[in-house]
Amino acid sequence: MTDSGFRLKGSVVTTILLEIQTFSLDNIIFHLKKKIDQVPHFFNQAPIIIDISKMKRGITIDEFEALIQAVGSLGLGVIGWRCDPENLPVWKASVTIPLLPASKARAIQMAPETKEDISPDVVVKTVVEERLVPQATKVITKPIRSGQQVYAEGDLIILAQVSAGAEVLADGNIHVYGTLRGRALAGVKGDVEARIFCKSMEAELVSIAGNFMLSDALQDIVWKDSAQVLLVDDSLEIVPL
């Protein structure tokens, strides 16, 4: 186990839950920013809840306010905080953001965890509270060039290649009848049944409902061959076609 300080879990569709067990502001912000830089579209302007229920020691009002300010500087919006009801800090009434009750919503595994991602100190989750029904299918007949982003409210069918540096997103499934070199994110609003299909897997990143895998991991499974990406028991799997 290393000191990286994070496990990243969940779906990007609703609220990020930042669970703090040992307070170290520099450690929290450094590794949170590292995760945001990996998949910035997942975290852009995302709401976040700070949970101090499992802290091994108390947290001062100055530390808490510094954390709120630092998290906000990363482009996240702190919408509330949670704490063990039996150990509420004496300064609770001085905080302007609301104290929230415990949530019964579930979290989804976001990526295969590595040793660098595992720490008992801080856990980052994104909480799935609803699942939206996909809408109409969008069909794209031209190649998706680098820097372009295409989004579909339902399924997305691309009858050409997706270039490196391009990004395709869909609430439902993604079908690429060509080479997939950019980023493909299916089920972006929480549909864990969504899948990605491509004729040649050379992607920078693939994601189902927030569970993602990068190119270095893909190359060890399926590379430059037809493949599908799906979730099995909340774990991302790449299967040859």
Q: Could you give the number of structural domains in the chain?
A: 2
In this prediction, residue 10 carries a pLDDT of: 36
pLDDT higher than threshold 90 for residue 37: no
Q: What is the pLDDT of residue 141?
A: 94
Q: What is the pLDDT of residue 42?
A: 65
Domain limits at 75? Answer: 8-128
Q: Do residues 111 and 211 share a domain? A: no
> Which has more confidence, 138 or 125?
138
pLDDT at 160 > cutoff 50: yes
Sorting pLDDT into bands at 50, 70 and 90, what band is 34?
confident
Please tell me the predicted confidence (pLDDT) of residue 194.
94
Looking from the CA of 205 toward its CB, the CA atoms found within 13 Å total 21
Q: What angle is formed at CA 41 by the lines to CA 98 and CA 25, rounded to 5 degrees?
A: 50
Residue 76 has pLDDT above 70, yes or no: yes
| 63-67, 136-140, 158-162, 186-190, range with greatest mean pLDDT | 158-162
**22 and 100 housed in the same domain:** yes
Q: What is the pLDDT of residue 178?
A: 95
Provide the CATH number for the domain around residue 201.
Answer: 2.160.20.70
Element (H, E) at 32: helix 25-38
1 lies in some domain? no
Q: Check residue 184 and give its pLDDT.
A: 94
Pair 180, 200: CB distance under 8 Å = yes
Q: What own/partner pairs with CB < 8 Å and gap ≥ 24 does 188-193 have? A: 188/12, 188/13, 189/13, 189/131, 189/132, 190/11, 190/13, 190/14, 190/128, 190/130, 190/131, 190/132, 191/131, 191/132, 191/134, 192/11, 192/108, 192/131, 192/231, 192/234, 193/231
Q: Could you read off the pLDDT of 89-108 as tens digits, one per residue? A: 888 888 888 887 765 444 43
Task: Give the Cα separation of 236 and 90 in Å (integer).
Answer: 43
Kindly tell me if the per-residue pLDDT of 175 is higher than 90. yes
As a whole number, the mean pLDDT across the chain is 78
Task: Tell me, yes or no, whether 201 lies in a domain.
Answer: yes
Q: Is residue 3 part of a domain?
A: no
Report whether pLDDT(36) > 60: yes
CA distance 158 to 156: 7
Cβ burial of 25 (10 Å; 0-12, 13-18, 19+) is middle
Task: For the chain, report the end-to-end CA distance as a whole number of angstroms.
Answer: 36
